[in-house]
Chain A
Amino acid sequence: MTRRKFLIGGTTVAGGLIVGYGLWPSGRLARANLLAAKPGERFLANWIKIGRDDIITVVVPHCDMGTGVFTSLSQMAAEELDADWAKVRAETAPADPLFANGPLAEGFGLEQMQITGDSIPGFLRATAANSFRVIAEYMDLQTTGGSASVRMTGVYGMRIAGASVREMLVQAAAARLHAPLRALRTESSRVIHLPSGQSFSYGELAAEAARYSPSAHPKLKARSAYSLVGRPVPRLDIPAKVKGATQYGIDTQLPNLCYGAIRISPVFGGKLVSVNDSAVAEHRGVKKIVRLDDAVVVVADRFWRARDAVGALEPVFDHGGNGDVSSKSIRDRHLAALNDAKIKQEHVTGAGAEALKNATVVERIYNVPYLAHAPMEPVNATALYKPEGTLEIWAGTQDGLGSRRFCAKTAGLDVEKVTFHLLPSGGGFGRRLPDLWNFLSYAVKVSMALPDVPVKLIFTREQDMQHDFYRPNVTSRFRAAVNQDGIPVAWVNDYTTDDDPNQEAHIFYGVPNQAYRAAKITTHVPTGPWRSVEASWHGFFIESFLDELAHQAHRDPLEYRRALLADKPRHLATLNLAAEQAGWGTPLSPGCARGIAMVECFGTIVAHVAEVEVSQDGAVKVHRFTSAADCGMAVNPDGFRAQMESGVIFGLSAALYGEITINRGAVVEQNFPDYEVVRLAQCPTIEVHMHESDAPLGGAGEPGIPPVAPALTNAIFAATGVRIRELPVMKHALAQAARG
């Protein structure tokens, strides 16, 4: 299994229970204090510092890319710690192996093995947990992805760290008072001696508490006892963000800073042939022209001078043998691959494809295009190489420790010689994950060409859009056999993939015979995880095909889904909640209609009902999205709601407009006018309803997205009778079909 797959590969079985916690041996606390504690602060266990001034700082092994995890993870630690929330702060963990994210390895490890903590014998649990810490260090694991921060780092890390630190503080107070532990309780960052009423603040006790070892198995609170988790506390990062004070990677300031502007071969894989150096000889501020294998960079004293100069260089690139590839040629290859007899079966239930024989078979083909991530902050990195062999980098990525290792490898340096400063990201959506780090690699190479000069390399929006790692172009062909009631008894899905088979292709609906076949196709177009990953396409495919089957059977799409969810109570309840809140079945104005879809992704079930209007001229207006979600329990309900709203808008931008087109081997779209997104004028009303359950905590950042496109296209079908099987919606003419 690849590192990427381990981290963000889709999977649906969540490990539910704790197996203990890979806590640091005491020698590591001293090192952590050296690395990341300010005067007056000290670490008591992994991730938690307490200051003499009573300020508790949660050190978060994730990036801040906007999803609010610094707040929700701090809530989880503070809950178990009985901390005074007003005195809790959060900061980014250093990109050091000491702060590798063991709980993340543990969470994903358990998920991949499809086991829960209960399956590991008690006496082995601490060993297992420690192994995950070692694995995290080995893998340089500090990744933010897979909607994993709360459900992995929080569940397997932060709350155990909080609870064990609380126990250490109680032990310290007990020793001071020569009192039994049971005479003490904790509240609002104080340990209180019940018989006397005497109390000590956490800050007062921190130094003494640090002499005790944190327990790997502290007593954890039951959900019913939570007072901070489950509360919509305001996010810790927002005050700085409204003031424009947050320092993103692109805001890095250094003495004598220079700026790099890059031009990369438009055709992926093309090489730099020539540049016209003399064209910039008179350009003010130009320091150096750096020729790279597949790109050219101009370094200047100001960014706009570098940017203008790199344009003036008129670089020439070859096509690397890919000059004939187009979206159409790629599409043809996908269709051909599905007809290849050697296509590999990856999963089967019941009689599989055999059940299609002698039955009424419905067949449909769907396709989604390449998509760019297009975060608002174009990718960039600042690097400073010193001739004595050290390298320092400042950037926003989705993995600080992994980035450090990557930069060291790129520079050919030992990792100890490299410092990586992880800064907040202006959006990520997968663009800043491991394996997608072209911006780091170019920045490191440029800095090595200018020793002692810090260089901030910024991709223009055009370079960012044309040199992304795109959500793959995927084609899927479904065949279903239906019974006399129109209910599917066989479900066969052949799909293309540029990676391993996709677990997210598998359905949760009760169809007795299923078969899945994956046809692997790679092209020269670089691809990578895009917010919600495999579910972003399989959600559209599955929920579209199911809707088609419902309409073909002349059955209501909601009622049809219900019939297939008899043994899925959480799914059924979530679907029903969305439908009820949306007023499913109640009349709408002429031209308006509803569509419904539901997808489970990263442990969270989300159902959307879209309400759309298609005008006579074919214009689609999305009026309303009614959403229901079951993530077990939301740590910060307002933050969770924000992520669902975010998912609806991100998903709608992609479904309505999103397409990266390949022509002559290169990306056609250059900037936002060609890659349009939902703005205020297209933004529907969004209502989010929660279905609470006792399920393990699910993700928040991604699960809102997959059901958006099918809810939308199912509604468009209900309004017009036009079935959209290829995204985006924008490229389909709906005018003739629209009913008045």
Chain B
Amino acid sequence: MGIRLRVNGVAHELDVEPDAPLLWVIRDELHLTGTKFGCGIAACGACTLHVNGKAMRSCSVRVGSVAEAEITTIEGLGGGGLSPVQQAWIEHQVPQCGYCQSGMIMAVSAFLATNPTPTDDQLAAAITNICRCGTLPRIRAAVRTLAAGKGAGAAG
């Protein structure tokens, strides 16, 4: 009797407690280490991944609550290549230490799926992830570029 988990399109059956944190199951059972531990209390967003397309802070999600859901981590985001958000991150040279960036990219990707042309204020209200290196101005600039592309009807 295990927990069934679907991550990046692959089904797993895992022998873990239902109340184990999704973050640590993803990292320590599935060895997908792109999703990071930052605070353990959903305060920083380093562990953000997608559950059925919605951004969630996986350190505070019990694995039992997302069995059968479709989970996507940074490793599965670009489908083998780079997603538009990842490309914009390179274009704007966003990362510094890079540790929070998986979570940032996952949070921004889910947000842009619901609001492809956000204002700066809408972005700031939605994305509360912490970056200690201070890449925030470049995150804002990268999202502006992505939004401008959408606004002009460009392919995303």
Contact = CB atoms under 8 A, between A and B. Distances in A.
Interface of A: 64-68, 234-235, 237-248, 250-251, 253, 259, 284, 302-304, 374-378, 424-429, 458, 460-462, 638-639, 642, 645-650, 653, 671-673, 677-681, 683, 685-686
Contacts of B27: 303
Contact of B34 (A244, A426, A647, A648): A244
Contact of A650 (B20, B36, B132): B132
Contacts of A374: 132
Contact of A680 (B44, B75, B124, B133): B124
A427 B96 CA distance: 8
26 contacts: A65-B97, A234-B90, A235-B93, A237-B98, A238-B95, A242-B82, A242-B101, A243-B75, A245-B75, A304-B28, A376-B44, A376-B133, A377-B36, A427-B97, A427-B99, A460-B40, A461-B44, A638-B93, A646-B134, A647-B134, A671-B41, A672-B43, A672-B44, A678-B136, A680-B127, A680-B139
Nearest to A681: B124
B38 interface: yes
Given A244-B73, A244-B75, A376 B38 contact: yes
A69 to B, nearest CB: 11
A304 B58 CA distance: 13
B148 interface: no
A553 B147 CA distance: 50
B67 interface: no
A247 B21 CA distance: 21
Given A242-B90, A377-B99, A680-B127, 10 more contacts: A66-B98, A238-B95, A241-B101, A244-B34, A246-B98, A302-B24, A302-B29, A377-B38, A461-B38, A671-B41
B43 A247 contact: no
A424 B21 CA distance: 25
Contacts of B24: 302-304
A645 to B, nearest CB: 5
Nearest to A235: B93
A237 B98 CA distance: 9
B136 A680 contact: yes
Contacts of A303: 24, 27-28
A679 B129 contact: yes
A243 B90 CA distance: 10
B136 A376 contact: no
Contact of B135 (A646, A653, A677): A646
Contacts of B137: 645, 649, 683, 685-686
B7 interface: no
Given A679-B130, A680-B140, A241 B125 contact: no
Given A259-B28, A680-B123, A238 B134 contact: no
A428 B99 CA distance: 11
Among B28, B43, B137, find the residue whose CB has the most chain A CB atoms closer than 10 A.
B137
A613 B49 CA distance: 36
Contacts of A686: 137
B134 A648 contact: yes
A681 B100 contact: no
B28 to A, nearest CB: 5
A376 B140 contact: no
B78 interface: yes
Main SS of the interface on chain B?
A: loop
Nearest to A246: B98
Contacts of A672: 39, 41, 43-44, 130
A262 to B, nearest CB: 14
A125 B34 CA distance: 48
B97 A375 contact: yes
Given A671-B41, A672-B44, A679-B136, A238 B93 contact: yes
A238 B105 CA distance: 13
Interface of B: 16-17, 20-21, 24, 27-29, 31, 33-41, 43-44, 46, 73-75, 78, 82, 86, 89-90, 93-102, 105, 123-125, 127-140
Contacts of A244: 33-35, 73-75, 101-102
Contact of A677 (B31, B89, B132): B132
The 4 residue pairs across chains A and B that have the minimum distance between CB atoms: A244-B34, A426-B99, A649-B134, A66-B97
B75 A429 contact: no
B40 A425 contact: no
B136 to A, nearest CB: 4
Main SS of the interface on chain A?
A: loop
A374 B24 CA distance: 21
A259 B20 CA distance: 15
Contact of B96 (A68, A677, A681, A683): A68
Nearest to A66: B97
Contacts of A428: 97
Nearest to A241: B98
A241 B43 CA distance: 22
Contacts of B90: 234, 238-239, 242
A83 to B, nearest CB: 21
Given A253-B31, A303-B28, A680-B123, A461 B40 contact: yes
Contacts of A241: 95, 98, 101
Contacts of B35: 244
B97 A424 contact: yes
Contacts of B102: 244
Contacts of B33: 244, 247, 250-251, 253
B55 to A, nearest CB: 14
Contacts of A646: 96, 133-135
Contacts of B130: 376, 672, 677, 679
A645 B138 contact: yes
A426 B93 contact: no
Contacts of B131: 376, 649
B51 to A, nearest CB: 17
Contacts of B28: 259, 302-304
Contact of B86 (A242, A248, A376, A461): A242
Nearest to A378: B37
Contacts of B100: 376, 426
Contacts of B135: 642, 645-646
A683 B136 contact: yes
Nearest to B16: A302
A284 B132 contact: no
A393 B104 CA distance: 30
B140 A426 contact: no
A259 B134 CA distance: 30
B39 A671 contact: yes
A183 to B, nearest CB: 41
Contacts of B125: 681
A679 B86 CA distance: 20
A680 B138 CA distance: 10
A461 B39 contact: yes
A253 B73 CA distance: 18
A83 B127 CA distance: 41
Nearest to B127: A680
Among B31, B130, B132, B133, find the residue whose CB has the most chain A CB atoms closer than 10 A.
B132
Nearest to A636: B93
Contacts of A425: 97
Contacts of B82: 242-243
Contacts of A677: 130, 132
Contacts of A679: 124, 127-130, 136
B133 A427 contact: yes
A648 B90 CA distance: 22
Among A237, A248, A460, A646, find the residue whose CB has the most chain B CB atoms closer than 10 A.
A646
B143 to A, nearest CB: 9
B43 A671 contact: yes
A429 B132 contact: yes
A683 B31 contact: no
Nearest to B73: A244
